[in-house]
């Protein structure tokens, strides 16, 4: 929309893409998994399978400033990091040493003033990652098993300074408690700040794009109905996820369920379902009778100046993450003050409901917010179109091609066709996160095909492929200069990419070495 001429657009797309490798950082000695910039752009952090988190100084020639080894804390590796809003603290997420099927992790908070470790918080499952809610409070997760495929995810608000002692402020407080069906869990939490919506740095919903989005194959559904499966189907073909129990003179679903169990135990009825199906149906009925209703409509026009969204991956059909859950965080929930377990709950509000769910119909392997927090970008590997999931422990096969979806968090609609070019090859049970990043004009992502990719946010076109020798796990734009991009790979390197324009400017600034021999010869001739 801001383009003046096609020539200027060609020059922008040719000259400002960070596609020239200017430096390779090789201080890690194992796979590099994640990169994150400070908000000022002066520092960035890297996490690796070598179990260190390294902090780098972002100058003309990038240099290592500090390295923290997390092995003394029984960590297996570091996997994610995030600077708080004033860049004074660094959140680092890691995985505990343990058996292969262990899901426990921990979050550490490091001071950027002297690189001291301030606090550590348990985090389960480890791929919740964790995130900052504000300058001093971070969100972690915990998982409680209820049955073989049913669990409860609890999200906690933690004060970064766990050593504080106050009769008015706790160091932790429970935020939300959400029941999980069919072996799904909450993972990959992030926070979107709604106050930025009124002044977005880029609007994607042009009229033709809105028209195209109406034919999207990735529907978005409100969780205003009573069942989980209802939202996963088109509106015109709604079926209840749980068959209603026979109406016996106004008997409630809970009473009917008890009678159903009694009939089974006394041999009057033989259940025509597997143990897994029975557990799921019981959990669905329990959700109906023990879940707090959703908050007010997220699409309301009331002021969002102090509202934030908690965004995470979840599911309802199988353990692989295939839905995005959205939960509004109200102003009074943004502090650890008050009861540790949160507000008083009635017996019929044992669990919190989600305010909104986006169904991806595929395995989600990455998420990222635009700088203005208006748009959510999602990496996913699609399931077959008409697949049916009969066993939650056997998810459908996933495509090698990665789809990059774009959702408008103000309208909760998909606003662009999926971006494509990058690929992944690992099967469902071994699938891992591919981190992406978004700048004002570009979006970048890693891939398993040994390349990083850059797309233009205006035209949906792939602009560049950035080569590595192995899987590219993470990418990060400088928040103050989108013509600088970092990529991290399993080849143990971090590569620094700058645009042709920036390379020319930097070369012009470098003093040229004096050609002493040539000067001497010229003097001799004279």
Q: Is 471 exposed, middle or buried (0-12, 13-18, 19+ CB in 10 A)?
A: buried
Residue bearing the bigger pLDDT, 340 or 399? 399
Q: Is residue 524 part of a domain?
A: no
Lowest mean pLDDT among 28-32, 58-62, 107-111, 425-429: 425-429
Element (H, E) at 500: helix 500-509
CA distances from 250 to 126, 247, 255 (A): 45, 6, 10
Q: Which of 190-199, 203-212, 216-225, 410-419 has the lowest mean pLDDT?
A: 216-225
Rounded to whole angstroms, the Cα distance separating 92 from 56 reads 15
Quote the pLDDT of residue 276.
Answer: 73
CA pair distance 429, 13, nearest whole angstrom: 38
What average pLDDT does range 169-194 have in this prediction? 91
Confidence of residue 464 (pLDDT cuts 50, 70, 90): very high
Taking 80 as the threshold, does the pLDDT of residue 316 lie above it?
A: yes
Least confident of 359-363, 425-429, 501-505: 425-429
3-state secondary structure of 7: helix
**Confidence check: pLDDT of 452 > 70:** yes
Q: What is the pLDDT of residues 82-91, one digit of tens each?
A: 999 999 999 9
Q: Beginning with the edge strand found earlier in the chain, give each strand of the sheet holding 220-222 in spatial order.
A: 187-193, 308-314, 323-329, 356-359, 220-222
The percent of residues in the chain predicted with pLDDT above 70, rounded, is 73
Query: Does residue 266 fall inside a structural domain?
Result: no
What sections of 159-297 are H helices per DSSP?
Answer: 207-213, 253-265, 275-290
pLDDT of residue 207: 47
Here the CATH number for the domain that contains residue 338 is: 2.130.10.10
Return the SS3 of 449.
Answer: coil
Whether the per-residue pLDDT at 214 is higher than 70: the answer is no
Residue 2 located in a structural domain? no
Q: Which helix (H) or strand (E) element contains residue 377?
A: strand 375-382
pTM of the model: 0.83
Q: Is pLDDT larger for residue 163 or for residue 124?
A: 124
Which of 35-44, 198-207, 300-309 reaches the highest mean pLDDT? 35-44
Q: What range does the domain containing 49 cover?
A: 28-200+304-508
Evaluate whether residue 1 is within a structural domain: no
pLDDT of the residue at 224: 30
Q: What is the pLDDT of residue 347?
A: 61
Separation of alpha carbons 33 and 11, rounded Å: 33
Run of H or E residues at 9: helix 6-15
3-class secondary-structure state, position 46: strand
Q: Identify the pLDDT of residue 448.
A: 95
pLDDT beyond 50 at 243: no
Q: Report the pLDDT averaged over residues 19-34.
A: 98
Residue 514 reports pLDDT greater than 80 = no
More confident residue, 228 or 212: 212
Mean of pLDDT values over 441-468: 95
**Residue 226 pLDDT class (50, 70, 90 cuts):** very low
Confidence of residue 201 (pLDDT cuts 50, 70, 90): low
The pLDDT of residue 242 is 31
Across 45-59, 82-96, 177-191, 220-234, least confident range:
220-234
| Range 443-464 average pLDDT | 95
Handedness of CA 32, 37, 38, 42 (dihedral sign): positive
The span from the CA of 17 to the CA of 502, in Å, is 10
Mean of the pLDDT values across residues 163-174? Answer: 70
| Domain-embedded: residue 286 | no
Query: Across residues 157-186, what is the average pLDDT?
Result: 84
**Stretch 83-107: mean pLDDT:** 90
Token pair recorded at residue 493:
């390197």
User: Is 12 a member of any domain?
Assistant: no
- pLDDT at 287 (0 to 100): 67
Distance between CA atoms of residues 45 and 89, nearest Å: 12
- Average pLDDT value for the chain: 83
**b/e per residue 324-359 (b: at least 16 CB within 10 A):** bbbbbbeeebbbbeeeeeeeeeeeeebbbbbbbbbb
pLDDT of residue 138: 97
In this model, does residue 298 exceed pLDDT 70? no
Q: Give a yes or no: residue 347 inside a domain.
A: yes
How many domains, the chain? 1
Looking at residue 250, its pLDDT comes to 45
Residue 275 located in a structural domain: no
């Amino acid at each position: 929309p801001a383009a003046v001429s096609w020539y200027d657009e060609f020059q922008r797309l040719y000259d400002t893409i960070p596609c020239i490798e200017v430096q390779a950082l090789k201080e890690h000695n194992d796979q590099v998994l994640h990169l994150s910039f400070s908000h000022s752009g002066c520092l960035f952090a890297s996490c690796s399978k070598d179990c260190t988190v390294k902090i780098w100084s972002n100058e003309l020639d990038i240099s290592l400033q500090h390295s923290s080894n997390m092995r003394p804390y029984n960590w297996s590796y570091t996997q994610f990091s995030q600077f708080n809003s004033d860049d004074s603290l660094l959140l680092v997420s890691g995985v505990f040493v343990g058996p292969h099927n262990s899901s426990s992790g921990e979050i550490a908070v490091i001071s950027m003033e002297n690189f001291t470790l301030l606090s550590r918080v348990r985090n389960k499952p480890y791929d919740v990652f964790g995130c900052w809610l504000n300058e001093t409070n971070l969100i972690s997760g915990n998982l409680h098993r209820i049955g073989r495929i049913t669990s409860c995810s609890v999200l906690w608000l933690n004060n970064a300074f766990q050593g504080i002692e106050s009769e008015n402020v706790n160091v932790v407080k429970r935020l939300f408690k959400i029941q999980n069906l069919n072996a799904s869990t909450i993972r990959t939490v992030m926070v979107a700040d709604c106050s930025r919506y009124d002044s977005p740095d880029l609007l994607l919903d042009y009229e033709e794009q809105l028209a195209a989005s109406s034919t999207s194959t990735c529907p978005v559904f409100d969780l205003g109905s009573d069942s989980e499966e209802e939202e996963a189907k088109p509106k015109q073909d709604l079926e209840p996820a749980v068959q209603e129990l026979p109406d016996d003179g106004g008997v409630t679903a809970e009473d009917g369920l008890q009678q159903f169990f009694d009939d089974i135990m006394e041999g009057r009825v033989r259940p025509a379902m597997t143990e897994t199906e029975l557990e799921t149906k019981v959990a669905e009925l329990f959700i109906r009778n023990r879940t707090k209703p959703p908050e007010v409509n997220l699409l309301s026009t009331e002021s969002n100046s102090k509202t934030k969204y908690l965004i995470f991956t979840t599911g309802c059909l199988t353990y692989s993450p295939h839905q995005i859950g959205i939960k509004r965080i109200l102003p009074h929930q943004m502090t650890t003050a008050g009861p540790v377990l949160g507000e008083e709950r009635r017996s019929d509000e044992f669990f919190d409901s989600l305010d909104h769910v986006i169904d991806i119909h595929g395995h989600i392997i990455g998420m990222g917010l635009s700088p203005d927090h208006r748009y959510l970008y999602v990496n996913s590997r699609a399931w077959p179109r008409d697949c049916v999931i009969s066993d939650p422990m056997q998810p459908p096969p996933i495509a090698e091609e990665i789809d990059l979806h774009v959702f408008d968090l103000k309208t909760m609609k998909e606003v662009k066709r999926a971006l494509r070019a990058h690929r992944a090859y690992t099967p469902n049970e071994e699938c891992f996160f591919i981190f992406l990043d978004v700048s004002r004009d570009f979006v970048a992502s890693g891939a398993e095909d040994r390349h990083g990719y850059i797309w233009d946010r205006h035209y949906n076109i792939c602009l560049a492929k950035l080569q590595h020798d192995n899987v590219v796990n993470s990418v990060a734009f400088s928040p103050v200069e989108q013509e600088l991009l970092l990529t991290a790979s399993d080849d143990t390197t971090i590569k620094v990419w700058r645009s042709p324009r920036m390379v020319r400017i930097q070369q012009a600034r470098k003093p040229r070495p004096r050609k002493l021999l040539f000067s001497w010869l010229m003097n001799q001739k004279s």
